[in-house]
Every structure is written in structure tokens, then in C-alpha cells.
Amino acid sequence: MKQATISQPILAALAKVAVSTISRRFAQEDISPLDKSAKTKKFDVTSARRVMRGFFVHTDAPIQRKTHVFYNFKGGTGKTTLCSQTAFLLNLMGFTVLVIDCDAQAHLSTIMDYGEEESYNTLYDVLINSLPIKQAIYPVWEGLDIIPSNLGLTRIDIPLNMKQRREEMLARVLDSIKKDYDFILIDTNPSMTPLVVNALFAADHINVVCETAPLSLKGLSRVIDELERVFTELRLPLRFSIVANKFESKMATAQEVLGALRRDYSLHMYQSVMRKSEDLNIASKKRLSVLSFAAKNSPANEDVLDFIGDFLEVSRKSLSTPLPFMDELVVTTLNETKEG
């Protein structure tokens, strides 16, 4: 997969420092821009990672919530796009990232340049055929790997149901490689299958992606109810937050839905809002981070930068510390789990 190039002003916006500060950091690392004569200096992702790592990867603020699931059992909410953009951005920031595609449609795999027409090892081989997980991990580029998917994953549910302690299988195999990554991002299919339950069991945090449309809002209560039911049965604390996605400020219904989300789920909402943007669709088509080609003032650029700030704040929270947006039912579940 061809690496993207990132401009110096975009890197400065990501690090929230002056362009001159970024320029000095590159000079200190003895890294030259790809085209020294260009007015706007650009760097490849590998070089940019070396510089950006110093801004974001801190031993005094380690990542506590490493495994994130992007979930909704309604299709079309934009969770795969958000998952891929989050992976690209975390990688650019200097983190090592593994993405796992749990959807047989393989959209995330396609974005990462592992198309479903090719024969790759998947979670089916790992969970059903006992393939060592490292043999199902493929490189995207430096610091970014993937466990891809294909249509063969549609056959996983029946044999997975026959396994003992089946809901724990993915978590157990991930334990052997967690030390190799700063983040593990899992994209799920829009359902509550045994494989999705495995992903949820393995998660340190769940990101529920909700389109700002009336039907998505109506379905969200069912999603939350189902998550609470599953986690109560698993006797695990439920840690989740909600991402408002595809927001259109000129649409009255979108404004109403966003207002309802902030009113009814205020303790769970990310502060950032992802606006509907053609640049995000183009990013998926180009198989690139939106930061690599969109204008600095693009809504997509602004929104992914805001979101990643919220995402990192959540990820640095201790697993034993309830988030400010954990409601009473979630705290009760946590307490019952401890007592049990």
C-alpha cells in the first residue's frame, strides 16, 4: 500500500503547535521534506511518525484502554470510515496500531488495501482452525497492521458457537500480542453475532457510531439496551461512548437528533461531532487518511482532529476508573461484577 504524504501545516494542527516548531523538530531529526523547493513542505508518513511520536506517545500518560470496538447494529452509520481514519491518524501520531476486520463485507480490509478477492488468513483461521494469530496479521505500512476479512467469515458463527467459553476466544488470542501494539481497533458487522460478542468481550472501550438521523436515534436505544444485556450476562463492566456522525447543520432533523443525543445520552457523548463530508468518502476511496489530501479547513480534517483528541483522552483513562459519562446502570453493573 502506497504511503500518504502529510503537509507541515497539517502536522502542526495535529500537534497543536506552530509550524515553526514542527520545522525545528524535523531539522533536529535530520529529516528533509520530499520536495525542498515546494512552498508547503510535505513528508512521508514514516518520517512524520518519528517526529509526531514525541508529541503524543508519553510514558507518563500511558494508554490504558487499548482495545477499541466500533459498533452499531445499524448499517450505514459510518463506523468503518471512522475506524479507518482513527487508525491512520493514530499511526501518524507515532502509535503502533492493529486493526481487525470482523465484517465479512471486508470494507475495512479494502480501505487498508487487502481486498476480499484475495486469499488471506482471517479470524476464522485463528478462532476455528487454531492458526497462530501472528500468521493472520499483515502489514499495511510501518506501525500499522491488519487482520483482514473476506466472505469466508460468514461461516464462522456455527463452529464458533460450538467452542467452550466461546465469547472469550478472541480476547484470549489477543492477549498474546497486546504488548506489540499501542492500539487495537476492531470494526464489527452490524449485528450481534457470536463473533461480535467476542469483539465486545475483548474491548476495553466501545465506540457506538450514531448517524444524526431520526431512524438512527430510534435504533440507538435498542443498541444500548442490547449492550447492557450482553455485558450483564457476561458480568463485565460496560464502557462505551457515542459518536455523533454525518451531521448536517443545515438540516433541521439533524439538529434535532444531535440535541436529543446530548440530552438523553449526555454522560456518554463525545464532545466532538463528525460532520457529513465528501472528503471522508474520498478518503475511503483513495485508501488514505483525510489529512493527506483535504484542505486544512476541510470539515473532515477539523472533525477528525477534534475526535482524536477525545479518543485519546478516553484511552488514557484507567480501566478501573468509571468515565464521567458512565451512567448509574453502568456503575451498578461494575459494582455487581466486583461483588460477584
Pair 164, 240 in one domain? yes
In whole angstroms, how large is the CA radius of gyration of the chain?
20
Over residues 102-143, the pLDDT tens digits come to 999 999 999 999 976 678 999 999 999 999 999 999 999 999
Contacts for 291 with CB less than 8 Å, ≥ 6 apart: 4, 6, 10, 14, 88, 89, 92, 301, 304, 305
Pair 133, 160 in one domain? yes
Q: What is the CATH number of the domain that holds 45?
A: 1.10.1660.10
Residues 95 and 122: beta-carbon distance below 8 Å: no
pTM for this predicted structure: 0.91
Pair 46, 68 in one domain? no
Pair 40, 155 in one domain? no
Q: What is the CATH number of the domain that holds 133?
A: 3.40.50.300
Contacts for 70 with CB less than 8 Å, ≥ 6 apart: 79, 80, 82, 83, 86, 185, 186, 187, 188, 207, 209
Pair 278, 299 in one domain? yes
Pair 25, 156 in one domain? no
Pair 277, 311 in one domain? yes
Closest CA relative to residue 45, chosen from 16, 83, 10:
10
- pLDDT for 332 equals 42
Pair 132, 33 in one domain? no
Query: Could you say which residues of the chain have pLDDT below 70?
Result: 1-3, 116-117, 321-340
- 147 beta partners: 100
Task: Tell me how crowded residue 76 is: count the other CB atoms within 10 A of its CB.
Answer: 13
Distance CA 10, CA 6 (A): 7
Residues 82 and 70: beta-carbon distance below 8 Å: yes
Distance CA 169, CA 288 (A): 32
Give residue 20's domain range.
1-56
Show the cell assigned to 200. Answer: 465486545
Among residues 56, 72, 90, the one where a domain terminates is: 56
- pLDDT for 117 equals 67
Pair 40, 180 in one domain? no
Pair 73, 7 in one domain? no
Residues 44 and 5: beta-carbon distance below 8 Å: yes
Total tally of structural domains belonging to the chain: 2
Pair 174, 235 in one domain? yes
Among residues 17, 34, 56, the one where a domain terminates is: 56
Query: What is residue 299's three-state secondary structure?
Result: helix
Helices (H), the chain: 8-15, 19-28, 45-56, 79-92, 107-111, 123-127, 157-161, 169-175, 194-202, 214-234, 252-264, 278-286, 299-315, 328-339
- pLDDT for 42 equals 94
Pair 150, 205 in one domain? yes
